[in-house]
Structure formats: structure tokens, C-alpha cells
């Protein structure tokens, strides 16, 4: 008994002709999905930016309220100049703390442990 070969030239040509349009359809669909994802990512970035600005406004207003409350409570016990000096000193200390934290985070952004392990 002879078995017929599964791979004949006509079958390969037929498969190539069927595969070509399928690959083009796949490429079009993939491009459409990627474009849709990019559009969603752009919308998400806009929403995140707006929410970040709102967060900044709310944090700023809360900080102003805290400072006003602190100024009022300090002005009951001390003079206005001493109260203002204490509030300015508190702000300067917090600014220095934030800058130090930012510098520490900047140093960690270059992944020093990973670079040491890789020998870079």
C-alpha cells in the first residue's frame, strides 16, 4: 500500500494563498487594537493629569487651612511676629525634608543594587 503524501505542491500553494489574506486581516486588526489602546492610554493620561491638578488644589487648600489654624492658635499665646516666624520655620523645615527625599528617590531611580549585581 502506498500512502499519499500530506504535503503536495498544490496544497502548499493553496495554503499560502489562504494564509496571505489572513495575515493581512490579522495585521489590520492588530493595528486597530493598538490604536485603540493608544487612544485609551491618552484619555487615561488626561484624566490622571486633571485628577493630579485637583489633588494639588485640595492639598494646597488643606495646607493653607492648617497654617491659618496654627497661626490663630499661636497668635493667642505669642505675638504675631513670633507666630509668623514659627510658621515660616516650619515651612522651611518641611521644604528641606521634601528636597532631601527627592534627592534620595533620584539616586534610587538608577537602580544601584541592580547595577552592582550586573557589574555595571
pLDDT for 47-57, tens place per residue?
888 888 888 88
Q: Delimit the domains of the chain by residue range.
A: 7-77, 80-120
Could you tell me the CA-to-CA distances from 29 to 17, 22, 32, 105 in Å, in that order?
A: 19, 10, 5, 41
Q: Give residues with Cβ within 8 angstroms of 32, minimum separation 6.
A: none
User: Do the beta carbons of residue 87 and residue 103 sit within 8 Å?
Assistant: no
User: Do the beta carbons of residue 73 and residue 61 sit within 8 Å?
Assistant: no
Could you tell me the CA-to-CA distances from 73 to 66, 67, 79 in Å, in that order?
A: 10, 10, 11
User: Do the beta carbons of residue 68 and residue 84 sit within 8 Å?
Assistant: no
- Cα separation of 48 and 55, whole Å? 10
pLDDT digits (tens, 9 = 90+) for 60-107: 888 888 888 888 888 888 887 887 788 888 888 888 888 888 787 777
Distance of CA 95 to the CA centre of its chain: 24
Return the DSSP state at 110: T
- pLDDT, the chain, mean: 79
| Residue 108: closest CA among 19, 116, 7, 21 | 116
Amino acid at each position: 500500500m502506498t500512502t499519499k503524501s500530506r504535503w503536495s505542491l498544490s496544497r502548499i500553494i493553496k495554503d499560502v494563498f489562504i494564509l496571505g489574506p489572513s495575515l493581512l486581516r490579522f495585521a489590520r486588526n492588530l493595528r486597530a487594537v493598538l490604536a485603540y489602546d493608544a487612544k485609551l492610554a491618552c484619555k487615561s493620561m488626561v484624566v490622571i493629569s486633571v485628577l493630579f491638578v485637583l489633588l494639588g488644589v485640595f492639598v494646597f487648600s488643606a495646607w493653607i487651612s492648617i497654617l491659618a489654624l496654627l497661626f490663630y492658635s499661636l497668635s493667642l499665646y505669642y505675638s504675631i511676629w513670633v507666630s509668623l516666624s514659627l510658621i515660616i520655620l516650619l515651612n522651611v523645615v518641611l521644604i528641606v525634608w521634601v528636597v532631601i527625599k527627592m534627592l534620595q528617590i533620584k539616586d534610587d531611580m538608577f537602580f544601584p543594587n541592580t547595577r552592582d549585581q550586573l557589574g555595571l
